[in-house]
Amino acid sequence: MPVRIEEFEAGELPSGPSVPEQILTYLYANREKAFTRSEISTGIDEEPNTVGTALSRLKQRNLVRHKGEYWAITNDLDRVADAYALHSITERLDEDDGGIEPDEWDVAAPDEPHPSKRDE
C-alpha cells in the first residue's frame, strides 16, 4: 500500500502485521485448503511479488508447504507457534531496549576471548 511522500519523510509509516504474518494468519485460517500466490495476494491485499518473496522465505523456515503453484501452511503447527512466539519475544525485547546496534555491540565486546575459549 503506497504512502504519501510526506508520510514517508516524516516516518509516519503504516504499522500492522508484516506480510509473512499476514500470510501465515491467512493460511492458518484456511488450513484445509491450498492457494496460489495470486489467491493469497488477493486474500491479504498485498502485491503478488511481495507475497512470493515472503512465501519463499517461509518455505525456507519450513512454515509453509509448496506443490506446483499451490501453497499451504505446514502440518507442524507447533513449529508455526514457536516461530510466532520467538518473533513476539524479539519484538518486545527490541521495544524494551531499542534492539541491538552492531557498532555498540562491537565496542562493548571484550578484547580478550572468554576464559572457556582460551588455550590452556
Interval 15-58: pLDDT, tens: 778 899 999 999 999 999 999 999 999 999 999 999 999 999 99
Distances (CA, A) of 51 to 3, 14, 101: 19, 18, 29
What is residue 118's DSSP assignment? S
Whether residue 4 contacts residue 14, with contact meaning beta carbons closer than 8 Å, is answered with no
Q: Which three cell numbers stand for residue 21?
A: 504474518
Query: What is 50-96 written as a DSSP string?
Result: HHHHHHHHHHHTTSEEEETTEEEE-S-HHHHHHHHHHHHHHHHHHHH
Model pLDDT, residue 85: 82
Could you say which architecture CATH assigns to the domain 5-99?
A: Orthogonal Bundle (1.10)
Model pLDDT, residue 92: 73
Model pLDDT, residue 1: 58
Model pLDDT, residue 63: 94
Which of the four pLDDT bands, split at 50, 70 and 90, describes residue 111?
A: confident
Rounded-to-5 percentages of helix, strand, coil across the chain = 60, 10, 35
Kindly list the domain boundaries of the chain, sorted by start residue.
5-99
